[in-house]
Structures are given as structure tokens and as C-alpha cells.
Structure 1
């Protein structure tokens, strides 16, 4: 079988194992441009012409290199719609929602946004303005967003470890926000709540905090998509909450795979862009083990093929993640320590430690085996090397876009 690795694939042969492949049913993909144009023509709530005035200064917050989103197409469609309203290019600022990830390079911006790269600025989490409070926590957003008369966003609604599904207000509140909201939403008090889990929207406090913060920012329109193994599954526009609900329903139908028994090991496919660093690649393991249905037996292992050309990651959050893991003696003591609190970014170490208490995580095929070994995980050259002969193995080719549910 072929599994994703970076921008390509690797061939994996497991003749000595009993293998089951968990492939989401999917649905026929849509043309992104056509679907985006249709979504803006029939949005949730008023059309864009009623949300944006011709003389408005407009900020459009887009996702960064860690998200697999055709922002160039979504941005192109938005800009055409804005031009029809009478908004010119010199009234536009495209803010790259980095959160605490590293800034994108000029070359990356050019590759991601094409002819619109000249409009882009990297979000600076140190240059923010407070717009209000949620639960006593200051909501701070980047200056270009606060200075704008209208705020739009692109994004992807995909299964998310904490928010249930990403998208909607998250692109702006987290991507163009400050450490204060990230520290709160990603802290142990919020993440340890039972309703904060992959695939859940209703009653999810993490999601509710994001939406309330988005109300304070005043996000005028979200243009989001959702995708699966075969491509883009749908696009929706308008009010963020409704956009997320619509696309989450599409994703659930297309990505859910029932699991009726337990396995010795799960091979978790990732691929680009998420497998560029350990911070992002570990999502595959935690999505599987901490999802609706953990398919592993007690002591079972998770195997993640990932390139890790950026090592642990180069942003502030990624460095905090790395420092916490590499300085820990073991997963159980690290988890107990992190329950007392941590800086934003280290939440991924908290979630990884939660998994490592019960399961070994092997990362294979990487350029950074020393980083893997330093972070309480195990490095092997190949997927085959990470599995014991005779193992009962579940292979999830696209672990970030597969929802394992009770079967």
C-alpha cells in the first residue's frame, strides 16, 4: 500500500501482519472556485455587498503554511467579489494567521497566494490590540485586523483536537490573536474538560470561547472549505458559526469510519504540510488515540511516517513543545507537571504526554530521528521496522481527516 510522506508517498509492505485499512467513504470532490462563488452567492446571512461598504478598509485573514487550504483560489474569489462592490486593492490587507507559528517567507507567500502575495503581511502576536474580554481573558487581535472597517477570513473546517472542527472564528481569533487567548483556550483547565474533543461542536467550551471572541472582533464573513482524501468536499460562506456547522456535517458524513475491535498498532498517515515538523505531525497520533473511538488495545502503539524537515518546528509554540518533551523524564510525570499550567504551544506536549502514558509513538522515515528520540518517542527508519511481526494493524492513510467512531 502507499502512504503519504511529505508531498509524495511511500510504499509500505506488511506481509507478516494482519492489516485492516480504515478509509473514509468520502464523497465526490467539488471545483473550489465554482463552489466558492456559489457559496458567496448564497451565504449564511446577508450577502457580502451588505456587509462591506465600497470605502471600507478590509482585512482578510488567511491560514498559514501549516494548513492545506487553496487560499489563492479563495482569496481570488473574495477579491473579485470585493471589486464588484467597489473595494480597490489599495484598501486590502491580507493577514497571514500564524498564531504562534513561524512567519512565512516571501517565497512561501508567493507560492501560497500567487498574484496576491503583495497584499500579505505576517501576523505579529506582539503587536495586538485588546477588543474585549471572554471569561475575564483579554481578547487581543493584530493591529491590521483591528484597524480594518471590515474583517473577512478564509479557512478550513476539518476535525480538530480541541475545537471539534476548525474554521470559522478560529482563523482570526487564534491565527491573528495573542498569547492571552491561546494561553487560556489551550491551557489545562479548558483542554481537560470532557466536551473538548475531536469532532464535537455542540457544548464544546473551546469552540464556544472562539465564537464569543469572534463576536468581539466583528468578523463580517468567513469563506471556508472542508476536504477529504479525494479533494475539496464543500465550501460555505457567511456567518462563521453556521459555516462551521454546515461543513462539519459534510465532513462527518464523508470522513467517519466505524471501528468494532482493538488493534496492536495503528499506522497514522499524515503527509504535507503537517508532517514538516514534529509539533504538527504528532496530531496524527493524538487524533487517533484521543478521538471518539480509540482503536488501540492497552499498550498498543502508534506509528507515524513523517519527513520532519523542520525538526520539532521553528515557531515559538513549537520550541516550547520541544523543550517540554525533551526535558521530561517520562510521559506520566510530564503530564502531571503540565496539568499545573504551561505557556502557549506547550499544549501539544500536554496532549502528546497524555497519549504517551498509554501508548508508544513511533515516528518513521524522518530527517530528524534525534529530535524524535529526545521527545519521549521512538524513531525508526521505516514503518515496517516499527511494527512487530504478527501484529494486528489498523492503517489510517489520512489520520487527520478520518473520524474513527464506534462500529
Structure 2
């Protein structure tokens, strides 16, 4: 009997799978990566050795208005460690600089004060100027140019008008941008609503290159690179974390060079060989990524990549914040089937892309081929059912449901953290 720990909210639940049923366990080597350096040392070493640009203490000299972009409440970036060090480096080189911390909410809701305290620490929230980006507030954004895709590039005015723009974040596999981090702090991080919609259009999401771990020929990534250059993102600090959300690696410097180096590191650790099975269990890595159904679609794509044509996918995800997007929810609630959702989306041109369409498109793609069971005791089951999925309060209940359809001898693959792996067929 295999006993496997699966992240759920701020804890772990246990999956017990008989050896004769277990097809495989797919995990990133990042989870067990060992380093003899503490987290602060890793960050400071990266800042001392920036790639393709001067150290931050040199870059900030003479700059009056500095904007530091950081991730929002949906990302497990260990900002309690990274932000104080970045602020220290900036003020070491320029004590008089005016610093604004800009939260890259992308298309998400604003980060609350309580979430800021949880993410940054009470002292940072109390002493620093922190602003939530709002992609829908026209007075916040300014047009910068035209993306390679043809969409208009609108970015946060504070960032565009900054004397120096810095980004911090983390790098992990991303289900359509290839990898998170780097240029994503600009697009979608601090982009306007119409810019995000154009970049996430149905044509791009449907591209075979818009997949986990793929940057080459990825049309979404291409737009993002252009946006970062147009915004003059001068310096980044990106980290890689393990299953405990601890920093195991960091890169700093030029937004493109440093990010690509970080992506190589993640790719080497996160690439796993698919183990197609009748039942595939996955999770969204626990808090903060499993707060809603919207974010949980990411882990489903890992399960999708290791599934047979009609496999049942079990997603362990708290979803205490519900569906995570009203448009996303209504798209499925008002549809007869996932195929109807997909057909409508594929008829939608770039300029008519609607909010959350990309998440709907990917979920529809999965549901057309797979039954999905959500395991949660923190989300209204009706929401899950309205979105054409099944609900179970416990993992054992979900497995019983799946085995009734697939048989007691069904093969099972477990992906404990679906957002941390690059599943290769």
C-alpha cells in the first residue's frame, strides 16, 4: 500500500493506494531539492550576481521614483523574505528614493489588507506604500503600444512613469504561458483589461505551443516578452520554491536572461514522464493556489497530460473562495455541456474575448474527454455541480465514486502537486 501526502489548503491529506493499482507518482524534484544555504543567503547571492545588468544598488542611483512589482494573494511567493531584502538593497544604493510596491493582480480581485499582512508582514504593510493594480480602472492605465498579436498594450501608469521598474516573483510551470515569473509580472500582472483579454484569446489558448513548460513559439509568451520590454522592466528577482514553499533557488538581473535561466532550472527539476491511468489524482499545491476552482484548472492540465482518453480526474482543492470568477462560473452554469462551451469560445474573435474565457476554454477541453471529481469540504457543492463536475467531501469518497465506474482493478496515477510538474508524454 502506497501512502501519499497531497497538499490541501494549509495542510495535507493522505491518499492510500494499493500497490497493484498504483501506476505511478509524478513529483517535481524541486519538492525534495536539498541545499545547504538558507533562504536569505540564496536571495542575497542572486542579487550580488545579477545576470546581464549591474547590481541593483547601482541601478537605483539617481532614480527618484522606483516601482517594485510583486505578486498577489494567489501566488505563494515568499515575499516576507524577498521584499525586505529588495527594499534594503534599493535604499542602500539610494536612501532618498520614493518606492511604491505595486501588486500585480492581473485579472484577479484586489489583495485585501489582511492578505497583505499575511504575505508581506505587518511592518511592511504599515510602513510602505502598497497599491493594488486594477486592470479595469481606466484612470490607472495608459496605452504603451501594439502587441505582436495585434492587441493594444495598456499598462499601469505608475509602472510606465517610474524611473526604475523592478519585478519580483517565482518561477513554476504554467499551463499556457509555459512558465510563470519574469515577464508575467507585466502581462497580465499590471496590464489593462483589454490587453489581458487579447493575450488570452481563444486562438492563442488553443495553440499546441501554449502548454506547460513551452516557451518556444508560444504566442502568449511572445506578447508577454514584448510587454516587459515596452514597460522597461529593468531588473527582476525570481525564486524557485519547494513543497514547503521554501526558497531553493533564485535568479536576478535582466528580465529576460535571468528568467530564462530560472526556467531551465525548473524544467530540469519538474519534467516527469506521463503515466497514463484510469484514474488520475492531483491537487493545486495547497494554499494559496487552491483557493478557488478557477486556479485549480491548472492542476487539471497536469492530470490531463497523464490520462487515458476517458480517465476520471480527481482534484483535491479546498476552493474556499468558491469559483474564483463570476464569468467563468456563469459560462458553465448556463451551458448544456462542455462541448457547447468550447464551440462558442472557438467562434469568438480576439477583440471579443470575454473575462475568464481562457480558463473556461481549458476546463471545457478537459471536461469534453474526462469526468472530474472535486474533493473539498470548504466549497458549496452546487457550484461544482453547476460547472458540470462532481463533488466529494473526502478523497476516499471520490475514489469510491471513480472505482464504481472504472472497476476495482482500475490503475491510478497520483500527481500530488499538479502545478509543480511538466508532464511529458
TM-score, normalised via structure 2 length: 0.89
> C-alpha displacement at 1:17, in angstroms?
6.6
Q: Tell me which residue corresponds to 2:371.
A: 360
Output the CA distance in 2 between the equivalents of 1:141 and 1:33. Answer: 32
Map 1:250-269 to 2 at 5 A: 250-259=265-274, 261-269=275-283
Q: Tell me which residue corresponds to 2:28.
A: 24
Q: Tell me which residue corresponds to 2:317.
A: 306
Q: In the TM superposition, what whole-angstrom CA distance separates every residue of 1:168-189 from its partner, at most 9, and x where no partner exists?
A: 1111221111112211111112
Matched, 1:344 2:355: yes
Q: Tell me which residue corresponds to 2:424.
A: 405
Map 1:176-191 to 2 at 5 A: 176-191=190-205
Output the CA distance in 2 between the equivalents of 1:36 and 1:340. Answer: 46
Q: Tell me which residue corresponds to 1:330.
A: 337
Q: In the TM superposition, what whole-angstrom CA distance separates every residue of 1:88-110 from its partner, at most 9, and x where no partner exists?
A: 46x00001100111111111111
Corresponding residue SS for 1:184: helix
Q: In the TM superposition, what whole-angstrom CA distance separates every residue of 1:133-154 from its partner, at most 9, and x where no partner exists?
A: 2133221111221221111010
Matched, 1:82 2:86: no
Q: In the TM superposition, what whole-angstrom CA distance separates every residue of 1:158-206 from its partner, at most 9, and x where no partner exists?
A: 1011111111111122111111221111111211222111101122221
Map 1:37-48 to 2 at 5 A: 37-47=44-54, 48=56
Q: Tell me which residue corresponds to 2:115.
A: 108
Q: Tell me which residue corresponds to 1:8.
A: 11
> C-alpha displacement at 1:18, in angstroms?
0.7
Output the CA distance in 2 between the equivalents of 1:268 and 1:182. Answer: 28
> C-alpha displacement at 1:78, in angstroms?
1.0
Matched, 1:122 2:132: yes
Corresponding residue SS for 2:116: helix
Counterpart of 2:410 (choices 354, 366, 391) is 391
1:322–1:87: structure 2 CA closer, same or farther, 3 Å change rule? farther
Runs (5+) with no aligned partner, structure 1: none
**For the Cα contact (< 8 Å) 1:165–1:244, is it kept in 2?**
no
> C-alpha displacement at 1:359, in angstroms?
0.7
**For the Cα contact (< 8 Å) 1:157–1:224, is it kept in 2?**
yes
Output the CA distance in 2 between the equivalents of 1:54 and 1:74. Answer: 23
Q: Tell me which residue corresponds to 2:186.
A: 172
Corresponding residue SS for 1:200: coil
Corresponding residue SS for 1:353: helix
Which has the larger displacement, 18-27 or 249-258? Answer: 18-27
Counterpart of 2:241 (choices 227, 239, 257) is 227
Counterpart of 1:210 (choices 224, 227, 230) is 224
**For the Cα contact (< 8 Å) 2:209–2:219, is it kept in 1?**
yes
TM-score, normalised via structure 1 length: 0.93
Q: In the TM superposition, what whole-angstrom CA distance separates every residue of 1:338-366 from its partner, at most 9, and x where no partner exists?
A: 11223132210111001111111110123
Corresponding residue SS for 2:87: helix
Q: Tell me which residue corresponds to 1:70.
A: 78
Runs (5+) with no aligned partner, structure 2: none
Paired positions, count: 396
Q: Tell me which residue corresponds to 2:385.
A: 373
> C-alpha displacement at 1:14, in angstroms?
3.5
Output the CA distance in 2 between the equivalents of 1:159 and 1:288. Answer: 14
> C-alpha displacement at 1:12, in angstroms?
2.5
Q: Tell me which residue corresponds to 2:207.
A: 193
> C-alpha displacement at 1:274, in angstroms?
1.3
